Homo-oligomer: A and B are copies of this chain.
Amino acid sequence: MGHVRAEIVATGTELLLGQKVNENARYLSEILADLGIAVRQHVVVGDDAASIDAALTAALARSELVVTTGGLGPTEADLTRERVAAVTGRPLVLHRPSLEAITSLFARIGRPMPESNRKQALCPEGAVVIPNPLGTAPGAIVETGGRMIVMLPGPPAELRAMVEQTVAPFLAERLQQAGQRSVIRSRVLRLVGIGESAAMARIADLAGGDNPTLSPMATGGEVWLRITARAACRRDADTLIDTVEEAVRPRLGDHIYGRDAETLEAVVGRVLAARRQTLAVAESCTGGLVAHRLTSVPGSSAYFERGLVVYSNRSKTELADVAPELLARHGAVSAEVAGAMAEGVRRSAGTDFGLAITGIAGPGGGTEAKPVGLVFFGLAGGGPTLTDSRMFPGDRKAVKLLASNRALELLWRRLRD
């Protein structure tokens, strides 16, 4: 494997019907670029043998590495195992450890293993099996005539776990053995509280370079800046990236909360855990999303004491200790109630911080004075109680997401200051 070129072959009728976007190809492209492997083509074909065979044959003729996604399930429509076996001329053989893993997965969840799942333990003879820590479909690496086929399942969580645990380390070692000298590295700076064009306006003069490159991406109400560099080794590439990051920070540091895969909830959680401080939240319009994000971080039980989803006015009074007069005077969607909710949940939970959100997620419930998208925030603890408001665009899901970002951003800023 000298200067490796790769292709990604996805199978799945749902992709061709437009029911699902090919996120796996995007993810794999990013991972392969990080390894210095140039991806030259993505192909999507349906679940039929002729199309899969043609795509595999064409890809193997052009490129050293072919990664397949999908088609490793237990059903008749899952053809990747047998098509790779046919195209490479390797018989399918039973891989006993995989069969045991599948059997024990079913045993663990207390269900009988359907007979059809047995075929998931088949793999082309001589292949390296890729364990699947999250599902029944193992993958495989098949080497044939100087080419390599990596077979991965379609569910993104399974695919990612297998790439991180097995495929990426395997490829990295191979590339090193083969003496590949150039690597592509990239780093994401994650920003909150600023839009894409406002962020780019501050760093326009830094964005024209060829190596490293600096490019923005707007996603989930956040802006991510990706810095990518190619160099002889990891360290050299990272040094190039450091230089760009050092130029960006003085201009955008106030918005950069993390790097790469770090989420805002993980960054906030890390600070709370390190300081042995605790947090409780009271949510109205976000409806549990802030608590869900905070508790998605492993170890969050160390600092997250409780969450209240106070949808009704009665629950705001009973649980978050908001005076009925305050609700009557200012309405549930107000800075006064947001502040009272934050103080109330902090007091009843006995935590260091209380964070509160109340607003109108829509589509109904808006008025001229308080339109859909208007959200108030309260933060108690670590200083005087703070209130804040924002008008968010978009539908119910967007308003919930953007409001949860803003709530976590307020907490992040207070923890930082």
Contacts and interface: CB of A to CB of B under 8 A. Distances in A.
A296 interface: yes
Nearest to A39: B16
Contacts of A311: 295, 300-301, 304-307
Nearest to A30: B18
Interface in A226-240: 226, 228
B291 A309 contact: yes
B308 A309 contact: yes
Contacts of A40: 16, 45-46, 51
A13 interface: yes
For chain A, which range describes its interface: under 10, 10 to 19, 20 to 34, or 35 or more residues? 35 or more
Contacts of A134: 393-395, 398
Interface string A1-40: 0000000000001111111111101111111110000111
Contact of A17 (B29, B292, B363): B29
Interface stretch (A108-116, A377-385, A407-415): A108-116
Contacts of A28: 18
A201 interface: yes
A86 interface: no
A271 interface: no
Number of copies of this chain that the complex holds: 2
A277 to B, nearest CB: 14
Interface stretch (A91-99, A167-175, A212-220, A241-249): A212-220
Given A17-B30, A26-B15, A309-B288, A216 B43 contact: no
List of 4 A-B pairs having minimum Cβ-Cβ separation, nearest first? A287-B295, A18-B30, A288-B291, A307-B309
A200 B363 contact: no
Contact of A51 (B41, B348, B365): B41
B23 A195 contact: no
Interface stretch (A70-78, A123-131, A140-148): A70-78
Interface stretch (A251-259, A312-320, A321-329, A335-343): A312-320
A297 B21 CA distance: 23
A127 B306 CA distance: 53
B307 A195 contact: no
A116 B42 contact: no
Contacts of A361: 295
23 contacts: A16-B39, A16-B41, A16-B42, A17-B30, A18-B26, A18-B31, A18-B33, A19-B226, A22-B22, A42-B44, A76-B200, A76-B204, A109-B393, A110-B391, A111-B195, A116-B201, A283-B288, A287-B307, A288-B288, A291-B309, A295-B311, A301-B365, A308-B309
A142 to B, nearest CB: 23
Interface string A46-83: 11000100010010000000000000011111000000
A161 interface: yes
A273 B374 CA distance: 25
